[in-house]
Amino acid sequence: RSGCKRRSQKSAEERPMLVQEGGWRWSQSSELVVQVQLRDEEKPHKCFGCTKSFTWRCHLLRHQRIHTDERPYQCGECGKSFTQNSTLIHHQKRIHSRERPHECGECGMSFRLRSQLIQHQKTHTGERPYECGECGKSFRWSSSLIQHQNI
């Protein structure tokens, strides 16, 4: 765990808007005071492995995993480890999820990632955005252009 506790999420209706500064709205004036102090003060938690510093100790501890190679969050399916729980969750959704929420309106194929759908849609539009500067030939995929240039 990173040591930081998350605030409970409340809907906009549950949060009274008392104070506004610089485009931000705060439900309590004490929150604004804390935020202004954080913005204006030095970052007291310094990393000894590099030059970074942090306002919150828990952010420093999370950052230091870069230097220690500590990866406490492990995927139960493939064993890959991560420094942050959020990265593990992202990995599980992206790699191991069976969900395919992005559907092509043209042919009905579905994909796990929106970027995969966008790439697939080029097969229907005939779009070839990757052009060779040498000969002018264009390609649907950047990898095809790179392969062409290496020949």
Query: 137 lies in a domain?
Result: yes
75 lies in the same domain as 114: no
Q: For the domain that residue 71 is a member of, what is the CATH number?
A: 3.30.160.60
107 lies in the same domain as 70: no
90 lies in the same domain as 111: no
Q: Which of 96, 112, 131 is the last residue of a domain?
A: 96
Residues of 29-56 as b/e, b for ≥16 C-beta within 10 angstroms? eeebeeeeeeeeeeeebebeeeeeebee
Query: 30 lies in a domain?
Result: no
When divided into structural domains, the chain yields a total of 2
Predicted confidence (pLDDT) per residue in 93-111, tens digit: 888 988 899 999 999 999 9
pTM: 0.46
- Structural domain of 71: 47-96
Q: What letter does residue 116 receive in the DSSP assignment?
A: H
- Is 150 a residue whose pLDDT tops 60? yes
